[in-house]
Amino acid sequence: MPKSFYITTPIYYVNASPHIGHAYTTIVADVLVRYHRMIGEKTFFVTGTDEHGDKIAEAAQKAGITPQEYADKISAQFRNLWPKLAITNDYFIRTTDANHIETVRYILQKVYDSGDIYFGSYEGHYCVGCERFYMEKELVEGKCPDHQTKPEYRKESNYFFRMSKYQDWLINHIKNNPDFIRPERYKNEALAFLRDPLDDLCISRPKTRLEWGITLPFDENYVTYVWFDALINYVTALDYPDGKKFKTFWPAAEHLIAKDILKPHGIYWPTMLKAAGIEPFQHLNVHGYWNSDQSKMSKSLGNIVRPLDLKDKYGLDAFRYFLLRDMVFGLDSNFSEEAFVQRLNSDLANDLGNLVSRTITMAIKYCDGKVPRVSRKDKNQSLHEAALKTVTEVEASFSDMSLHKALIAIWDFINIINKYIVENEPWTLGKDPANKEKLTAIMYDLLLALRAIAVLLMPFMPQTAQKILRQIGAEESQDFNLISIKKDDALKAGSPLVRGESLFPRIVQEKENHVQEKKTSMIDLKPEIDYEEFAKVDLRVAKILAAEPVPKSNKLIKLKVDIGEERTIVAGIGKDYTPEELIGRKILIVANLKPVKLMGVESYGMLLATDADKGLTVLTFDREAKTGGKVR
Ligand code: MSP
């Protein structure tokens, strides 16, 4: 029986549109599920939207529509985004779905019947702005820390979940299963919450205060409050209690969240499951926060990073790669477009892109455009061994969620392959037909290594993996799993090699000029200069006021020009232009050249011209330019 793997993301609130934080969690879940599918497990991947509660009701009111209409609109934004990021979820859940409402009511009734939900009264400091009660110790100088207002003292009757009853059980469960919550820092954080006595959890709101929720099965004057509704989505999606999926995928559940919702997932959820008689999930996997410009993303700071903008600008796989490579799972990361472009250029364009294109070009040249046939004795083991080592490292990274380490291992392998090319110099071997066999074996090893890279990258960068496989003639194979990397004959001799477009074109960033690699150029360029040096040249738009030949010269023309002030320049264009046709034109001049004397006439600047089919052509403008205007 194949192992089961069930992966979930948080269900996202529908009070705001998706940003890179949501995209990150969902992409990580996608990478995990693609990997587990690839190694032959039975998988199920769920994401969705969390639609009840005051925040949503309020946002809908502001927008002047019903909560349901509002939820439909934003939920659709999430649902429609995921395919654009190549997310392969099996199910998209909404807390307003009928089957979810039914499951929540079923569990509430079950826990109520077993005596773990009771009716009690709650009194405390209530902040109207937050619509929640505060404990004395949470207030700052007696005021709500968010709104800076003094809360009202209120007494309200509500339903409570007897969470305190399960405190000791939970502490033991966490201690006996050290990676139940991981990475470790979050396990420690959860245990720190549990050092204080756990309060019972208020799980309802009277309908007089909030209507937008699921009605309690045992009291229709109340609705369930947020978490008791939302967390249950993880079992609704499996058709709890009787569904086949529930039997297959529970308790193999891997929950993925960011640190913001550790408490509900690390404390409320396991105790709710315990009270409902359901086994605890497998792992709670907690990652850090993406910040932008070193601060938390927020509408008011205007620093929200939108996933589709980046995907459209740089391509999907580059976007997925950056998010996965740059964040150490568990720690916060700061998003910067500059860092993104640098990684794209160095890791993707230089390392991976160049490797693929040079290998394919050489293989086509030296192996007649086809995967060559090579006998086992000719195969070189060093690349193959490096591939096997990479597989082991990637497997380890997946089992402890350190996906950035998997990518580091794959890039180490890419560098080994690049080194192998440099050391073996196929281009030198190619000069002498006597080396044919050796060269063919090297090319086969390289193509096989590219195949390994494509398979290893599949979960991370599915489109790139496909492009590489197409180029090495392996697109049709069905054998795309890690085991296939272990075979040293995974490529079929005779398959056609295809030269493709460059996988990742280099992005030239303005700021990058100084770090950009020196390119060898085919044209005869002068040595590179800094922007500062260029900026010393003062280029201006000049209007020609008068023109006349310089006496005794057959090509010099003396021009009187206006650049905001009048000046004289002498230009060597007399063979190509008559003075008459020049008058009134706007041209480009270098205005800060040291004056020179030409045939006895002082020239205070130089006109710009270039070679035409015959003679010279003077640079002009294709739209009206301002006289004296600076040229940048
Ligand atoms: N609706 C609840 C979750 C209920 S799950 C039963 C909720 N929704 S949310 O829209 O606020 O989503 C929070 C989650 O979105 C985080 O846990 C994380 O997965 C993702 N992120 C939102 N902002 C993020 C960052 N800035 N950085 C990383 N991930 C973040 O909480």
pLDDT in tens, 104-128: 999 999 999 999 999 998 888 988 7
Mean pLDDT throughout 513-538?
A: 65
Q: % helix / strand / coil in the chain, to the nearest 5?
A: 45, 20, 35
Any ligand 1 atom below 6 A from CB of 260: yes
Index of the ligand 1 atom closest to the CA of residue 10: 5
pLDDT for res 478: 77
Q: Is the torsion defined by CA of 411, 413, 417, 420 positive or negative?
A: positive
Q: Which of 47-51, 444-448, 510-514 has the lowest mean pLDDT?
A: 510-514
Any ligand 1 atom below 6 A from CB of 318: no
pLDDT of 237-282, one tens digit each?
999 999 999 999 999 999 999 999 999 999 999 999 999 999 999 9
Cis preceding linkage at 579, omega within 30: no
3-state secondary structure 34-70: HHHHHCCCEEEEEEEEECCCHHHHHHHHHHCCCHHHH
How far lies 460's CA from each of 52, 86, 149, 323, 588, in Å? Answer: 33, 10, 47, 10, 51
547 phi-psi bin (left φ>0, alpha ψ -120 to 50, beta other): beta
Q: Name the catalytic one among 22, 311, 467, 543.
A: 22
- Smallest Cα–Cα separation from 325: which of 342, 303, 350, 310? 342
**Between 570 and 226, whose confidence is greater?**
570
Does the pLDDT value for residue 515 go beyond 50?
Answer: no
Query: Phi, psi (5° rounding) for residue 109?
Result: -65, -40
3-state secondary structure of 2: coil
Any ligand 1 atom below 6 A from CB of 281: no
Q: Tell me if residue 202 is catalytic.
A: no
Q: What single DSSP character describes residue 621?
A: -
* Residue 516 binned pLDDT confidence (cut-offs 50, 70, 90): very low
CB 233 within 8 A of CB 226: no
| Rounded-to-integer distance, Cα 240 and Cα 246, Å | 6
Q: Tell me if residue 299 is catalytic.
A: yes
| Rounded-to-integer distance, Cα 27 and Cα 33, Å | 10
Q: With residue 408 as reference, give the H or E element that holds it.
A: helix 403-424
pLDDT for res 378: 64
Q: Name the catalytic one among 110, 130, 143, 259.
A: 130
| Rounded-to-integer distance, Cα 363 and Cα 499, Å | 10
Index of the ligand 1 atom closest to the CA of residue 296: 26
Any ligand 1 atom below 6 A from CB of 227: no
**Which of 13, 22, 103 to probe ligand 1 with, by most ligand atoms within 8 A of CB?**
22
Any ligand 1 atom below 6 A from CB of 52: no
Q: Cα(58) to centroid of ligand 1, in Å?
A: 19
Q: Name the catalytic one among 296, 313, 419, 487.
A: 296
Q: Cα(12) to centroid of ligand 1, in Å?
A: 6
pLDDT for res 127: 82
Which residue type does 333 have? S
Q: Tell me if residue 247 is catalytic.
A: no
CB 81 within 8 A of CB 44: no
| Rounded-to-integer distance, Cα 128 and Cα 144, Å | 10
Does the pLDDT value for residue 296 go beyond 60?
Answer: yes
3-state secondary structure of 222: strand
Q: What single DSSP character describes residue 223?
A: E
Q: Cα(256) to centroid of ligand 1, in Å?
A: 10
Does the pLDDT value for residue 521 go beyond 70?
Answer: no
Any ligand 1 atom below 6 A from CB of 542: no
pLDDT for res 522: 58
Index of the ligand 1 atom closest to the CA of residue 25: 19
* Residue 621 binned pLDDT confidence (cut-offs 50, 70, 90): confident
Any ligand 1 atom below 6 A from CB of 106: no
Q: What single DSSP character describes residue 366?
A: H
Contacts of range 455-459, beta carbons closer than 8 Å, 24 or more positions apart: 455/38, 455/480, 455/481, 455/482, 455/484, 455/485, 456/390, 456/391, 456/394, 456/406, 456/410, 456/413, 456/482, 456/485, 457/410, 458/34, 458/38, 459/30, 459/31, 459/32, 459/34, 459/35, 459/38
422 C-beta neighbours (distance < 10 Å), count: 7
Any ligand 1 atom below 6 A from CB of 298: no
3-state secondary structure of 99: helix
Index of the ligand 1 atom closest to the CA of residue 259: 17
- Among protein residues, the one with the nearest Cα to ligand 1's atom 17 is 258
CB 291 within 8 A of CB 332: yes
Round the CA-based radius of gyration of the chain to a whole number and report it. 34
pLDDT for res 533: 78
Index of the ligand 1 atom closest to the CA of residue 290: 27
Any ligand 1 atom below 6 A from CB of 10: yes
pLDDT of 468-501, one tens digit each?
999 999 988 778 888 888 887 888 999 999 999 8
Which residue type does 421 have? I
Index of the ligand 1 atom closest to the CA of residue 231: 6
pLDDT for res 131: 65
How much is the pTM? Answer: 0.80
3-state secondary structure of 352: helix
Index of the ligand 1 atom closest to the CA of residue 233: 6
Residues 6+ apart with CB under 8 A from 243: none
- Among protein residues, the one with the nearest Cα to ligand 1's atom 8 is 12
Does the pLDDT value for residue 82 go beyond 50?
Answer: yes
Q: Name the catalytic one among 84, 150, 299, 626.
A: 299
Give the strand order in the sheet containing 117-127: 132-134, 117-127, 152-161, 201-202
Query: Phi, psi (5° rounding) for residue 371?
Result: -65, 125
Any ligand 1 atom below 6 A from CB of 297: yes
Mean pLDDT throughout 405-430?
A: 95
Q: Name the catalytic one among 100, 125, 144, 187.
A: 144
Q: Cα(288) to centroid of ligand 1, in Å?
A: 11
pLDDT for res 261: 95
Q: Tell me if residue 144 is catalytic.
A: yes
- Smallest Cα–Cα separation from 207: which of 222, 229, 224? 222
Q: Tell me if residue 283 is catalytic.
A: no
Q: With residue 544 as reference, give the H or E element that holds it.
A: strand 539-549
Any ligand 1 atom below 6 A from CB of 50: yes
Q: Cα(18) to centroid of ligand 1, in Å?
A: 10
Q: Cα(246) to centroid of ligand 1, in Å?
A: 25
3-state secondary structure of 300: coil
CB 127 within 8 A of CB 149: yes
Q: Tell me if residue 296 is catalytic.
A: yes
| Rounded-to-integer distance, Cα 364 and Cα 334, Å | 42
Does the pLDDT value for residue 624 go beyond 50?
Answer: yes
Report DSSP letters for 9-30, one per residue: EEEEETTS---HHHHHHHHHHH
Residue with tokens 């294709």: 622
Any ligand 1 atom below 6 A from CB of 230: yes
User: How many residues belong to the chain?
Assistant: 632
How much is the mean pLDDT over the chain?
92
pLDDT for res 512: 43
CB 587 within 8 A of CB 577: no
Pairing of strands 333-335, 557-562: unpaired
pLDDT for res 517: 40
Half-sphere exposure of 149 (CA within 13 A, CB side): 10
pLDDT > 70: percent of the chain: 96
**Between 271 and 614, whose confidence is greater?**
271
Query: Phi, psi (5° rounding) for residue 498?
Result: -125, 125
Report DSSP letters for 238-274, one per residue: TTTTT-HHHHHHSS-EEEEEEGGGHHIIIIIHHHHHH
Half-sphere exposure of 331 (CA within 13 A, CB side): 11
Q: Tell me if residue 130 is catalytic.
A: yes
Any ligand 1 atom below 6 A from CB of 21: yes
627 C-beta neighbours (distance < 10 Å), count: 14
